[in-house]
């Protein structure tokens, strides 16, 4: 399964072959946006884009890492020292995982690592989670740590939260660690229980990155969180998961307009996740189209996290599809990507419409990725 050039690269860098290969995918969220920190439902799907890590233990305590995506660069540090930020921006993700593993008390040794990935970086497909999960998987196998996949995901999230200072939820790491080929995963962010959901074989995932330069994302993100917390507090529930639309209407008078709108989005979006699971089971394109359209509309009007470029992409694609596909923005908003679900015949239609209409209107180039539902973390020995 490893490609020959990659194993040869390892041999050339370290002077001997690797002992194992850890592989973890990027992801896209089909529906369930901004529901994660409100302890609701999300429905991500792993992609057939993945990050691969060849590894071999060392006799000393050094971690030495290269990435084929950053040729000529290297990071190394001793696991015996306190793990601090280094000079390599990408190397810090490896340090982050080691920092958390050490903090959790796992006994580690030195290791050689070579990374290679076809997950586009910064395109909203969570290359960072793929990296964290594949690195944690490599350490798990190399030092026989016996960590289950759910804990691997939590370690990846903790690495991102505490070391990279990015307050992401658990979704990206959990789908990367636990995905099964051909399936999405419905995650209940309240108790982290999961349910695998078959993706019909004739359904393609077309992801279009707007490449819109993101601004103000963090402050806006935090404000949305505060609005959701405020709404929950005024409804006297511990999180929006404990609320429902009837309670929201009863409490409307004491909520600010934004608290009401944000909560309305979250509560209706949770229901849309549940309904999307049914729509996938029925392979009903009409239902998928209506659910994704309603999600996008709510993200635009109630949660207010879309931008003209992502609204424009959704508009261009849905007009081109003439009802024969589903489309909405996906990910953290304020730019980023849109996800389109469609049959084979429509892929070319979507591509042509985006290539014809997006650039002239928004003066940006969109990247288009046609994907299938991929498999989760896999670690194997290399012979
Ligand atoms: P996203 O997760 O949406 O792709 P992030 O900014 O969260 O974007 O993560 C991207 C960062 O993750 C990169 O800047 C880099 O530091 C790191 N990264 C991802 N993939 C690789 C790789 N193959 N090799 C080295 N670093 C990587
Ligand atoms: Mg990321």
pTM for the whole structure: 0.94
Mean pLDDT of all residues in 160-171: 91
What are 20-39's pLDDT values in tens digits? 999 999 999 999 999 999 99
What are 75-88's pLDDT values in tens digits? 999 999 999 999 99
What are 304-318's pLDDT values in tens digits? 999 999 999 999 999
Please choose, from the candidates 156, 149, 186, the residue with its C-alpha nearest in 3D space to the C-alpha of residue 36: 186
| % of the chain exceeding 90 in pLDDT | 93
Mean pLDDT of all residues in 270-289: 98
Determine the pLDDT at residue 1.
45
Quickly state the pLDDT bin for 124 (edges 50, 70, 90). Answer: confident
Say yes or no to pLDDT of 2 above 80. no
Rounded Cα gap, residues 298 and 1, in angstroms: 43
Q: Among 73, 121, 210, 332, name the best residue to mutate to test ligand 1's pocket (greatest count of ligand atoms within 8 A of Cβ).
A: 121
Burial class (CB in 10 A: 0-12, 13-18, 19+), 82: exposed
Query: Does residue 56 sit in helix, strand or coil?
Result: strand
Measured from the Cβ of residue 71, the count of other Cβ atoms closer than 10 Å reads 8
Determine the pLDDT at residue 215.
78
Pick the residue whose CA is nearest to atom 7 on ligand 1. Answer: 128
Domain ranges of the chain: 3-199+374-381, 204-371
CATH of domain 3-199+374-381: 3.30.230.10
What are 321-358's pLDDT values in tens digits? 999 999 999 998 999 999 999 999 999 999 999 999 99
Residue 172 catalytic?
A: yes
Phi (first) and psi of residue 147, to 5 degrees: -90, 130
Question: Which residue would you say has higher pLDDT here, 383 or 18?
Answer: 18
Rounded Cα gap, residues 228 and 218, in angstroms: 15
| CATH architecture, domain 204-371 | 2-Layer Sandwich (3.30)
Quickly state the pLDDT bin for 166 (edges 50, 70, 90). Answer: confident
Ligand 1-lining residues (CB < 6 angstroms): 51, 67, 69-70, 89-90, 93, 115, 117, 121-128, 131
| Spacing, Cα 127 to ligand 2 middle (Å) | 6
Strand 20-29, strand 337-342: pairing? unpaired
Please choose, from the candidates 121, 112, 44, 119, the residue with its C-alpha nearest in 3D space to the C-alpha of residue 89: 121
Average pLDDT along the chain: 96
């Amino acid at each position: 399964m490893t490609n020959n050039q990659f194993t040869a690269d390892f041999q050339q860098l370290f002077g001997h072959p690797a002992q194992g290969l850890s592989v973890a995918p990027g992801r896209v969220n089909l529906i369930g946006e901004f529901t994660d920190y409100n302890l609701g439902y999300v429905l991500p799907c792993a992609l057939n884009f993945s990050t691969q890590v060849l590894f071999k233990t060392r006799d000393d305590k050094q971690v030495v890492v290269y990435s084929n995506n950053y040729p000529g660069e290297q990071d190394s540090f001793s696991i015996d020292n306190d793990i601090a930020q280094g000079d390599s921006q990408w190397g810090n993700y490896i340090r982050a995982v080691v920092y958390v593993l050490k903090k959790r008390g796992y006994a580690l040794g030195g290791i050689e690592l070579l990374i290679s990935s076809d997950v586009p970086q910064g395109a909203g497909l969570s290359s960072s989670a793929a990296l964290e999960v594949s690195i944690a998987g490599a350490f798990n196998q190399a030092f026989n740590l016996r960590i289950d996949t759910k804990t691997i995901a939590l370690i990846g999230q903790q690495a991102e939260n505490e070391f990279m200072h990015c307050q992401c939820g658990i979704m990206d790491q959990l789908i990367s660690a636990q995905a099964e080929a051909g399936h999405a995963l419905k995650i209940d962010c309240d108790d982290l229980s999961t349910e695998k959901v078959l993706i019909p074989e004739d359904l393609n995932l077309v992801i279009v990155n707007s490449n819109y330069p993101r601004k103000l994302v963090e402050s806006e993100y935090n404000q949305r969180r505060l609005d959701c917390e405020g709404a929950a507090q005024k409804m006297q529930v511990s999180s929006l998961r404990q609320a429902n639309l009837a309670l929201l209407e009863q409490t409307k008078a004491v909520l600010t307009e934004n608290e009401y709108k944000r909560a309305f989005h979250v509560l209706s979006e949770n229901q849309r996740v549940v309904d999307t699971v049914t729509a996938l089971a029925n392979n009903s394109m009409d239902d998928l189209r209506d659910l994704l359209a309603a999600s996008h509309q709510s993200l635009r009007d109630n949660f207010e996290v879309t931008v003209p470029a992502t609204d424009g992409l959704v508009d261009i694609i849905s007009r081109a599809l003439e009802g024969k596909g589903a489309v909405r923005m996906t990910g953290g908003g304020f730019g980023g990507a849109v996800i389109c679900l469609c049959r084979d015949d429509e892929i070319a239609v979507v591509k042509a419409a985006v290539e014809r209409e997006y650039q002239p209107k928004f003066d940006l180039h969109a990247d288009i990725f046609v994907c299938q539902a991929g498999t989760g973390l896999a670690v194997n020995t290399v012979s």
